[in-house]
Amino acid sequence: MDKYAELQIRVNLLEYHQRLLLKMLSAPNLEFYRLVIENGISEQEVQAFNKLCEEMNKKMEEQKAEGFINFHPLFNEFLYSLPAKFDVKEVIQTCLNQRLYEPLFREFHKCL
């Protein structure tokens, strides 16, 4: 990768983090955004995380409809799919605090 492309990636990351910081000014309880910034997570990685959460949420709803009450297999699938930059305990807690995918992360919190 040439220096220009590397710089462009870094500028894009900084711009993304700046947008998150601006959101945090009006609502300081956006702890997931803080986690994203602290760990240098890109917008694409957050989009992939959101997609993963949407898929897990849908699977959980399907499993609940089928009568499941144990979501450890789903939690394990989530762990396997979670990007390495994320700490699962921190992700679950910050998402709960920010009220992101609340039903999903309430169930996953029980699996910790």
Nearest CA to 59 among 103, 95, 91? 103
DSSP letter for 62, please: H
Answer yes or no: are the C-beta atoms of 19 and 33 closer than 8 Å: no
* Structure confidence by residue, pLDDT tens digits, 15-36: 999 999 999 999 988 999 999 9
This model's pTM is above 0.75: yes
Q: Which domain covers residue 52, as residue numbers?
A: 3-110
At 84 the pLDDT is 87
CATH of the domain at 37: 1.10.3750.10
Rg (CA), the chain: 16
**Domains held by the chain: number:** 1
